[in-house]
Structure 1
Amino acid sequence: MESWVSSSPMHTSTRKEEFSYAYVHAIASTAGFCVQPKSRPMDSAGLDIIIEAPGAMTKGVLSFPKIEAQVKCTATKANITELFIKFPLEVKNYNKLRLTSHLVPQILIVVLVPEILENWIEITEPESTVIRKCAYWLSLKGKEETLNDETITVSIPRSNLLTPESLTELMSKVAHRQDL
């Protein structure tokens, strides 16, 4: 009998993309924020989602703070060091995210998943749903130019773990017009 993994016509890279959006959506929803996919032209411009507060944050300067994000997903174990997640990013995306002229702050979010697709999610009825592994974020605003042609490896501090708490802190910074 064919497993549910092999019976789906969806390519693994598409599954990673969809899973990563769902992962970020789960984090944002838990923190009380909205997530919207960007339009296809904006996806082509290197932005996948927008995360925004559905109102003013407590004692914030700006109402409805928002962050735009490019979301990536990887199952490669070799990217993890003791202090950093090393992620190869296309230079064209790097160059867009490093600009300083964005009206809305932009970040890179990298979602890590297990190499074996069946391990991405575990549902134990009625006890729990476990989503594996985790996500990290990075602001590339103001980073240096690169001479690379295709990819540049960015180092995301492991302390930049994307959680409901860290996302709330990021949104608070945006509400106070602080850099991420």
Structure 2
Amino acid sequence: MNTALLKGNGGTAISHSKESLSLAYMQAILAATGLNHNEPKIDNDGVDITIRGKGFKGVFKEPKIEVQLKCTAKSDCIDLKNNELVFQLEKKNYNYLIGPSPLPLILVVHFAPPGFDEWLIEKGEGTTIKYASYWYSLYGEEPIDNGSRIIRIPLKQRFDCQALIKMMELTSKAQMIYNLEEGVV
């Protein structure tokens, strides 16, 4: 069965609902950290959201990070042997995320259960979004000419409140955001 044709009870295609899920997870992290965001009306250049800070100590008092959001529910995208999330990124998005850019660029991929009905746990005490998002910096990679590229995101690069605040602190100090195996964050 072609999962691209699946629709939720409300009629929205699963691909569009996955976009909404990744944005909802991002907005929950932003709310918990007190950061703000902008969303372009049209995703014309590979940016789904710009994260904005205020009152940071550093070169930039109001740091910004641009983010490309993706969501996957493929059961084979988690490589437990290597502790990585494996995601195929199309040329257009890949080449945009390698830079150069006046703002730091990151990819954030949300890993979700396969079915709509599994995305949230709703109980009397609250609602939980399942599973988690992971971030990756492609800055400085070589462009690709066609197709796509497999991105292997270490599971230790979980996109959470602590990681986001650290990225904003680095950005405010005019420092690059590097993947964990490369050093800085």
Q: Please give the TM-score of this superposition, normalised by the length of structure 2.
A: 0.87
Q: 1:165 to 1:6 in 2, by over 3 A?
A: closer
Q: Which residue of 2 aligns with 1:92?
A: 92
Give the CA deviation at 1:6: 4.7
* Count of residues paired in the alignment: 169
Q: 1:6 to 1:157 in 2, by over 3 A?
A: closer
- The amino acid of 1:141's aligned partner reads Y
Q: Which residue of 2 aligns with 1:16?
A: 18
Instruction: Provide the rounded CA distance (Å) in 2 between the counterparts of 1:105 and 1:38.
Output: 16
Identity across aligned pairs (percent)?
33
Q: Which residue of 2 aligns with 1:176?
A: 173
Q: Which residue of 2 aligns with 1:112?
A: 111
**Any idea what the Cα deviations from partners look like across 1:87-131, whole Å, max 9, x if unmatched?**
0000111011102x2111111010111012111011112x12111
Instruction: Provide the rounded CA distance (Å) in 2 between the counterparts of 1:143 and 1:124.
Output: 44
Unpaired runs of 5+ in structure 2? 1-6, 178-185
Counterparts of 1:60-71 in structure 2, within 5 Å, are 60-71=58-69
Instruction: Provide the rounded CA distance (Å) in 2 between the counterparts of 1:63 and 1:80.
Output: 37
Match of 1:150 among 133, 147, 150: 147
Unpaired runs of 5+ in structure 1? none
Q: Which residue of 2 aligns with 1:7?
A: 9
Name segments (4+ residues, structure 1) moved above 4 Å: none
The alignment partner of 1:44 has SS state of coil
Considering only aligned residues, what root-mean-square deviation do their CA atoms show, in Å? 1.3
- The amino acid of 2:13's aligned partner reads H
Q: Please give the TM-score of this superposition, normalised by the length of structure 1.
A: 0.89
